[in-house]
Amino acid sequence: MYVRASTRRTRDGQVVRYLQLAHNEWDPIAKASKTKVLYSFGREDQLDRDGVRRLVAALSRLLDPDEALAATAEAGLSFVESRPVGGAWLLDGLWRRLGIDTTIAAAVRGRAGDADLERVLFALTANRALHACSKLAAADWVTHDVHIPGLPAVSDDVCYRAMDRLIEIEPQLTRRVYDRVADLLNLQVDLLFFDTTSTYFELDEADELLWRDERGTVVDEGAPQAVKQAGFRAYGKSKDHRDDLPQVVIGMAVTREGIPVRCWVWPGGTTDSALIRQVKDDMREWCLARIVWVADRGFTSAENRRYLQRAGGHYILGEKLRSGSAEATAAFSRQGRYATVAGNLQVKEVKLGDLADDRFIICYNPEAAERDRSVRERLVALLTERITGSDELSVTKRAELRGVISTKPGLNRFLRVTPGGLLRVDQAAIKAEEHLDGKYLLRCSDPKLSTEDIAVGYKQLLEVERGWRDMQQIIDLRPVYHRREDRIRAHVLLCWLALLLIRIAETTTGDTWKTIRTNLDRIHLGTFHGPAGTFHQRTELNPAQKKTFTTLGLTEPPRVFDATPAA
C-alpha cells in the first residue's frame, strides 16, 4: 500500500498533482500486477493535512507503540528502539511539584558523588509504581526498558548507595513532603488515620539482639536508655499469619483524603502500645493543629488513650465487641434509636454516665449484618457436621476432636462442652452473636465532633487498609530483597513515596492507578537514526492521555526530546 501521485495540466496550463492511496493486486487472468485505487485525497495543494494526521493517529492506535513509531519514520531514517515514557513523565511531574527533587538536592548539596542522587531515588520510586522489582533488576529496567527523564542509565551499586543516603535525609524529606502535600492539596489533617501491618522474610532465624533506645534506634551499649532488644527482623504476631517467620512492623498515617503523609518501620516484635506513642511524638514535632487520631481496635488500651490526649489531642478508636469490658457490655445494653447517616450506615450514641468519660457510638450496617448472619450459619452447619456422632466416640477420640476444633476460632466460638465431656452447639453463643451482627462500637474523646463525623471518620480507616493492599499488590512491598536494617527501611520509604504519588494521581483524576498506568504505558519514545544523526520522538497522545496530564496540571511530554548530530 502506498500513496500514488499523478499530474494533470489545467486549462490555463498549470500543472497540478493529485494524490491517491493505492495498492497493487495480482490479476490471475492477465498474469500481471495491476494498481487499485483505495482512496483519492484530491489535489496536493488542497490536501486536508489535519485530516491526514487524524487518520494516521487513528491507524497508529491499532499498532503497538514501537510499531507505530517505526511505521511513521521518515524516509532515510532507521528505527532503533522504543521505550515507555508516559508513566515516568507523569510521576516525575508530581515528584517535582511536591518539591522532592529540590529537597533531596538541598540535603546532599556539597557531597561528592551525589550529583545524580535525586534522579536515582526518583527512578527507584518510579520502579515501585510502574514495574516493581529488585534493585538489581531495577537498574537494568532503567538502563534498557524505560525512559527516566535525566537518567539514561544506572548501576545497582549506585542504587544501593542512593538508598543509604535516603535514610540519612529521611527527617528533612518527610517533613518537606508533608508541608508541600498539605499546601498543594489543601488537605484536612483534623482526622489522621493510623494502622500497622507486617511483612515477613523467608529466614530460618531472626536477627541478633541489638542495643536500642526507647524509639527503637540502634545505639551503643553505654548510651542513655539503651536496652538490648530483638534484632530488626524478629518474631512477632504476623498479620500475614506467618508467626513462624521473622518480620518487621510497618505503620502508616493517612489523611481523610487517602493521602499517606508518613510511614514508620519497627522491629518485628514491637508492640502496638510503643508504636502509637512514637507516632504521636513524631507528628507533634511537626507542630500540626488539632488532630483527632483514628485507629483500629489494637490501640484501645487505657495507656494509649491517655497518651493520645496529651497536648489537647483526641481520638476515635474501635472497641473490641467481644472483649467483655464493662464499657462494651453497658453500651450494648442501652436502648435508643438509630439515625441513618452516610449511605446505609446507622448510628446511635449511648451514655454510660460515671462508667466512662468517653463517648460511645454504636454503628450498624444492615448489609454487614446479613453477611455476618450468613457466615455464622455456615460455621454452625460445619460445626454440627463435625460433632455429629461424637457421642459414640471414646473419651480419648472425643478429646482429640475437641482439640482440633479449638484450633479453628470460627468453629470454636460456637462449641460447648457439657460437664460430661460431650460436644454440643452453643445456642447461647449463637444468640449473643446475633445481637452483634453488623455492629461495631466506637470510643471517642472529642466532645465537639458530631455522631456522624465520628462514624464516617472511622469508616474512612478503610483508606489505610487500601494503602496496605496497594503496598502488597501494586507496589510489591514483599518480597524484600534486603537484609540490612537501613536498606529495609529505605525500601519501605521508596514504597511510601510511590504510594504517595499514586494516591495524588488517583484523587486528582478520579481514575485508578491501574487504569492510569495502562493508558500512559502506551506513550513510547522512539529512537531514530539517520545520516544527520540520532533523535528521539514520542508517539501521538490520545484524548484520554491528554486529559490525564491536563487534569493533573502537568505538561505533556514534548513531541521531540533531543537530537544528536552525526559526528
Of residues 540, 518, 563, 482, the one with CA closest to residue 90: 518
- Phi, psi of 309, rounded to the nearest 5 degrees: -90, -5
Cα distances from 464 to residues 7, 87, 247, 492, 518, in angstroms, run 69, 24, 20, 15, 24
Q: What is the pLDDT of residue 110?
A: 65
Q: Which residues contact 94 (CB under 8 A, 6 or more apart)?
A: 501, 504, 505, 552, 554
Q: What is the pLDDT of residue 562?
A: 76
Q: What is the pLDDT of residue 214?
A: 66
Burial of residue 96 (number of CB atoms within 10 Å: 0-12, 13-18, 19+): middle
Of residues 295, 296, 447, the one with CA closest to residue 359: 447
Would you call 17 helix, strand, or coil by DSSP? strand
Q: What is the pLDDT of residue 220?
A: 74
Cβ atoms of 442 and 361 within 8 Å: the answer is yes
Show me where the domains of the chain are located: 367-434
Give the C-alpha separation, 175 to 159, whole Å.
23
Give the C-alpha separation, 246 to 204, whole Å.
8
Give the C-alpha separation, 491 to 495, whole Å.
6
One-letter amino acid identity for 246? P
Give the C-alpha separation, 429 to 450, whole Å.
34
Q: What is the pLDDT of residue 216?
A: 66
Cβ atoms of 287 and 211 within 8 Å: the answer is no
Q: Which residues contact 323 (CB under 8 A, 6 or more apart)?
A: none
Q: In what order do the strands lie in the sheet with 524-530?
A: 78-84, 524-530, 533-538, 560-565
- Angle in degrees, 0-180, between the axes of helices 366-387 and 395-406, rounded to the nearest 10: 160
State the DSSP code for 449.
Answer: S
Q: What is the pLDDT of residue 77?
A: 65
Give the C-alpha separation, 30 to 133, whole Å.
60
Q: What is the pLDDT of residue 402?
A: 93
In 196-291, which residue ranges form alpha helices assigned H by DSSP?
Answer: 272-284
Of residues 314, 294, 290, the one with CA closest to residue 193: 294
The three three-digit cell numbers of residue 325, written as one number: 469490658
The pLDDT tens digits for 239-255 are 777 888 888 888 888 88
DSSP H or E segment with residue 56: helix 49-60
Of residues 190, 105, 207, 185, the one with CA closest to residue 150: 105
Cβ atoms of 4 and 22 within 8 Å: the answer is yes
Q: In what order do the strands lie in the sheet with 314-319?
A: 260-267, 247-255, 191-200, 292-295, 314-319, 439-444, 359-364, 346-350, 339-340
Q: Which residues pair with 16 in a beta bridge?
A: 8
Give the C-alpha separation, 399 to 410, whole Å.
18
Q: What is the pLDDT of residue 31?
A: 76
| CA 278 and chain centroid, separation | 23
Cα–Cα–Cα angle for 174, 179, 182, nearest 5°? 120
Give the C-alpha separation, 439 to 363, whole Å.
5
Q: What is the pLDDT of residue 196?
A: 80
Burial of residue 83 (number of CB atoms within 10 Å: 0-12, 13-18, 19+): middle
Cα–Cα–Cα angle for 21, 23, 25, nearest 5°? 150
Give the C-alpha separation, 138 to 130, whole Å.
11
What parts of the chain have a pLDDT lower than 50?
Answer: none
Q: What is the pLDDT of residue 88?
A: 96
- Phi, psi of 116, rounded to the nearest 5 degrees: -100, 10
Q: What is the pLDDT of residue 218?
A: 74
Q: What is the pLDDT of residue 204?
A: 66
Q: What is the pLDDT of residue 211?
A: 74
Q: Number of C-alpha atoms within 13 angstroms, CB side, residue 90? A: 32
